[in-house]
Structure 1
Amino acid sequence: MENELYTIAQVADILSVSKETLRRWEESGKLIPKRDQDNNYRLYSKDQLEQFDEAKILFSTKWDEEKITESIRPYRAIELFAGAGGLALGMEQAGLKSILLSEIDNHACDTLEKNRPDWNVVRGDVSDIDFTPHRDKVDILSGGFPCQAFSYAGKKLGFEDARGTLFFEFARAVKETNPKVILAENVRGLLNHDDGKTLEAIKGIIDELGYELVEPKVLKAVFYRVPQKRERLILVAIRKDLFSNVTFQWPSPYKRIMTMKDALKAGELFATDVPESIGQKYPASKAEVLKQVPPGGYWRDLPIEVQKDYMKKSFFLGGGKTGMARRLSWDEPSLTLTCSPAQKQTERCHPDETRPLTVREYARIQTFPDDWVFSGPITSQYKQIGNAVPVNLASAVARSVVRLLNQIEMAGLKKQKKIA
């Protein structure tokens, strides 16, 4: 693999820098690519990249070892704010058994029930659920609670002070079930939400509930066999009476970055080309503009007069606004999917055809299998997929959780032997 070559787009993803940064590094002599003789593309060799920690981790990954993780016994999971099932499906793939999934959106509940009739889907407001029947019967409680600010009456916020937020309901479920492990996922923005006070309050409450929080980490989906530049903040906490005997290890990255080609064409990720499905359409005026954008391009690639007409007042404002009039590229991962593929601020145009991505294309980019069917009107289907945790990312994290639960199980068995 020493002669393996990487494009500028791939290297930007591997090192988590922009293509502009790589061009500056070339000018300064920090990282000089080879030039492809036929088309003058910048190409980087594997040995060139090994000076960077991010690349070292990718090239020496333990993904294949971790992929064969198996649970010592069936572990039981409860999930709140389950949505269309991205996290739950990843958990299932890792061998965890869902015993309750809570979700308020009816279309998302229909999706869950249609795909997994045996799952115990509880519809409605999470605040109406009594979790006490599951006390001491749950190995992991998970969920992606929405990011909300707390009101700060006192200096230190406690469990009871968080009432009225959805995190309070998550914390209440933890208190009532007493799981061994907590797994929460959220947007990266939670790190700095309300000047960091929101996360500090969450950390304090997790501690008060009797759990030791592993340092939260932002995971980039592109490193976990997901063809999408999506980031999720992951929080893992272990019950304090179990914490001293175990160590949580974050999942290793996959050995390469998946692209739109991997998502929509037959290959390593999917056995067939993406199936046909429903999708939104652009109005004729927008289609006329996007027709002029090259793959991987955006509004700045349009003729100047078209830019001004399309961007209106935004043309004169600062910032890159790189999501506007954006066409995806076959050779790069998708940008983060939103709840609608045709919004002006976050367009996700197909690489070849001048149209938004279809529902099935959206699902593939989130690594849902083709047989995972979404319920409800098309706008709800896009929203369910756009809000989901990418299945392959969820599966990688869940395998790390299974390894953690295996450690807890083994420590418990050793303790029993000593007592005996």
Structure 2
Amino acid sequence: MKAISLFSGGGGMDFAARSLGIDVLFANDVIPETELTFASSFPETDFHLEDIRQISKFPSVDLVTGGYPCQSFSLGGNRNPANDPRTFLFKEFARVVDTVKPKYFVAENVSGLKSIQDGNWLKLQLDTYNEIAGVGYNIATAVVNARDYGVPQRRKRVIIVGVRKDLGVYYHFPKPTHAKPDIAAKKGLLPYASHGEAIRHLPLDVPGEYYERPHDPEGNFSWYYMSRNRKASWLEPSYTIVANFRHTTLHPASPTMKLLWSNLADGWKQKWEFSSEYEHLLHDPTLPVLEKPRRLSWREAALIQTFPEGYEPAGKLEKKFEQIGNAVPPMLMRAILQQIVSGEGLLQFPSEHEQYLTVGKQLSLLSEEQDIEPIES
């Protein structure tokens, strides 16, 4: 199979594609560092550092993938899509699909897309894909959580998959392979992957690879940062790896945080401190500890995102985190694409809970807690 990669970023979708034997012929982004990242990781790909709105010629391929900008739909964003020009870049993705008419397309966005303004922005995107002229596409969409597919990270995303109608099949999402330990044992699944174990082999002393606040009177961690529960348990998946290096979560070997006092009603302030306790040692006293707490390094964040060992995005520290945090975890995207490459997810009938046969009717199926197969109730 041959593919076009749009809004390619650090190459999360493209590592997944390549691992399945898909040849990524063409890639595109506007962030200068991504061109250098692709030159290092995908030297065989024709990379275009250019605004997608200015590109009109594309190779003939079987697949188009892309994670168009999500900031206006994110729970951490401004939540005002109509006034953000990036909101409408999905139309460029649709334009490329309409131009190339591949057999399949896969689009990714944040889970907030399904809830903001009652799902109307998601409906607009699906309507746009439904209106692609000519052959038309059978469209499936679902909210997936990366942890359910072996990624050591909690990360919910909306995935939209289109299959050209003349192929006569519908896409079905892969069933989860991982779950909470007690549920996994009952259902024959694997337990969620530990993010602590995913990075345990890396050195703890890595100055310059994580964000610090030098010369700040509040120290390395503001009260607001501390108030947002930044430390996930060693044995569990991490919290979402974000693109902003200031808000990256704590290394799981850091000591436990304690709230000393809170006065949010008068000045919005709290006082936190790190204790001398390490809760992960209760599970295994041989686990490493950080006497001085710190945020995750870019290298650790990349492994938690399931980028391969040795991967290094180009640019300064801030740009490394931006490319890593904005990426689709390769392991998650591999599970999505594997359904196409193997044919296991291409069936002659739609799935009741995944398929947008009529866009308006099906929107209600994307509930906040719905997984592909409800394994938790």
**Given the two structures, how large is their TM-score scaled by the length of structure 2?**
0.68
What residue ranges of structure 2 are gaps of 5+ in the alignment? 73-79, 179-189, 255-289, 348-377
| Residue 236 (structure 1) aligned to one of 161, 167, 171 | 161
| Residue 279 (structure 1) aligned to one of 204, 210, 228 | 210
Identical aligned residues as a percent: 30
| Residue 178 (structure 1) aligned to one of 85, 90, 101 | 101
* Partner in structure 2 of residue 262 of structure 1: 197
The structural deviation recorded for 1:393 is: 0.7
Partner deviation per Cα, 1:226-284 (whole Å, 9 max, x = no partner): 11111111001111111x34553425424221112221124xxxxx7789572222447
SS of the aligned residue for 1:331 comes to coil
The structural deviation recorded for 1:362 is: 0.9
More strand by share: 2
Q: Does 1:351 align with 2:253?
A: yes
SS of the aligned residue for 2:233 comes to coil
Distance in 1 of aligned mates of 2:226 and 2:221: 15
The structural deviation recorded for 1:389 is: 0.8
Distance in 2 of aligned mates of 1:233 and 1:336: 15
Distance in 2 of aligned mates of 1:288 and 1:181: 46
- Label 1:323 to 1:336 Cα distance change in 2 as closer, same or farther (>3 A): farther
Cα pair 2:172 2:339 within 8 Å, conserved: yes
- Label 1:165 to 1:342 Cα distance change in 2 as closer, same or farther (>3 A): closer
Distance in 2 of aligned mates of 1:164 and 1:334: 28
SS of the aligned residue for 2:246 comes to coil
* RMSD of aligned Cα (Å): 3.0
* Partner in structure 2 of residue 361 of structure 1: 300
Partner deviation per Cα, 1:152-189 (whole Å, 9 max, x = no partner): xxxxxxxxxx9982111101101110001110010001
Distance in 2 of aligned mates of 1:108 and 1:362: 17
Distance in 1 of aligned mates of 2:23 and 2:209: 32
- Label 1:106 to 1:273 Cα distance change in 2 as closer, same or farther (>3 A): same
Distance in 1 of aligned mates of 2:196 and 2:296: 13
Distance in 1 of aligned mates of 2:46 and 2:252: 37
Q: Report matched runs for 1:132-151 at 5 Å.
A: 133-134=58-59, 137-147=60-70
Partner deviation per Cα, 1:50-84 (whole Å, 9 max, x = no partner): xxxxxxxxxxxxxxxxxxxxxxxxx0111110000
Partner deviation per Cα, 1:181-212 (whole Å, 9 max, x = no partner): 11001000111233221111111111111111
Cα pair 1:144 1:184 within 8 Å, conserved: yes
* Partner in structure 1 of residue 149 of structure 2: 224
| Residue 389 (structure 1) aligned to one of 328, 335, 342 | 328
SS of the aligned residue for 2:342 comes to helix
| Residue 177 (structure 2) aligned to one of 215, 234, 253 | 253
The structural deviation recorded for 1:287 is: 5.1
Distance in 2 of aligned mates of 1:198 and 1:107: 30
Partner deviation per Cα, 1:90-137 (whole Å, 9 max, x = no partner): 111122110111111111221111122111111110111123x53xx3
Cα pair 1:219 1:232 within 8 Å, conserved: yes
- Label 1:245 to 1:376 Cα distance change in 2 as closer, same or farther (>3 A): closer
What residue ranges of structure 1 are gaps of 5+ in the alignment? 1-74, 152-161, 267-271, 291-309, 312-320, 409-420
The structural deviation recorded for 1:386 is: 0.9
Distance in 1 of aligned mates of 2:226 and 2:143: 22
